[in-house]
Amino acid sequence: MIGYRYFIELPKLERGISLIAERELETLTFSIQNILNTVSRTTSDYAVWTSTYNFMLDKNQDYID
């Protein structure tokens, strides 16, 4: 009984836990990537909006170019 659990059940359990941990890490990586993409888009939008607003104030030739 001890040999069966040690050589059969324990490796199955370890593989199962390993697969669950890998899935959790993949999910976490995917979520972080989505958050970073959202932050990147938001930052870009604000940067473009600020440049456009500054152009409206002083008609900056660099912005037109």
Q: φ, ψ for residue 59 (rounded to 5)?
A: 50, 55
Total-model pTM: 0.56
Confidence of residue 38 (pLDDT cuts 50, 70, 90): confident
Confidence of residue 59 (pLDDT cuts 50, 70, 90): confident
Contacts of 52 (CB under 8 A, 6+ apart): 63
Which pLDDT score, from 0 to 100, does residue 46 have?
64
Determine whether 33 is exposed, middle or buried from the number of CB atoms within 10 Å of its CB (0-12, 13-18, 19+): exposed
